Amino acid sequence: MATVRNPLEPMSSAVRGIVTLLAVLMLASVLGMFVDGLGVHVLGIGDKPVCVTDASSTTSGDASPMEFKAAPGALAGLDAHTRYCTDDPTTAQSLLHTANLVPSFVFTLGALLLVLRLIRGAEREGLYTARTAGRLRGLGWWLLAGSVLAAIAESVTEKALVDSLSRGGDVSALTGLISWNGPYMAILTGLGVLSFARVMRVGITMREDLDGTV
């Protein structure tokens, strides 16, 4: 009798491998923070210097450094965009720096865990079940809403950090609510997953109706 291959491979093994690798790296990073001399940092905690790029500003070859004023204790570097750095960040600046890195990490980790939950449930209960379709729907909403919220949070914290490291500009946390970049690929992927979950639920209902008439 031929062995039935897992229809969820190779995605099943890939996701499990990525989640395991992330867990090992995160554990090693956390432990490395307590070892002097390694200089290991997790999500910007303890980073020095703290730097941020103001993507809303553009510079040209004839730009004057005086047009972009850094706050006391910070330096401004001119490239395609203005970059501000400080070697002695305040507690608020360190928190903003970490908060700027957390949303994308949480979004990515959450997506991986939801995919892993979906795969394990499908392997245990079957692909074409209402619970599997429900888990797929949850993943779709995470990709859709989570990516948007993460993008807004990153934009707000980035602009707030720029505001704290610069002087005389018109950038603030409020402008981050207006100028955030839409994660269009994640949004389209989320919409596609939601549509597929709806198709699955319709198919499951039709199969249940057919089973009831036999």
Nearest 5°: CA angle at 17, between 12 and 22? Answer: 130
Pick the residue with more confidence: 118 or 66?
118
Q: Over the stretch 47-57, which tens digit does the pLDDT of each residue have?
A: 778 888 887 76
Inter-residue contact 146 to 110 (CB < 8 Å): yes
Question: CB count, 10 Å around CB of 43?
Answer: 16
Q: What is the pTM of this model?
A: 0.80
Q: Over the stretch 58-98, which tens digit does the pLDDT of each residue have?
A: 655 444 444 566 777 676 665 667 888 888 888 899 999 99
What does the alpha-carbon distance between residue 210 and residue 125 come to, in Å, rounded to a whole number? Answer: 20
Inter-residue contact 144 to 184 (CB < 8 Å): no
The confidence score (pLDDT) of residue 113 equals 93
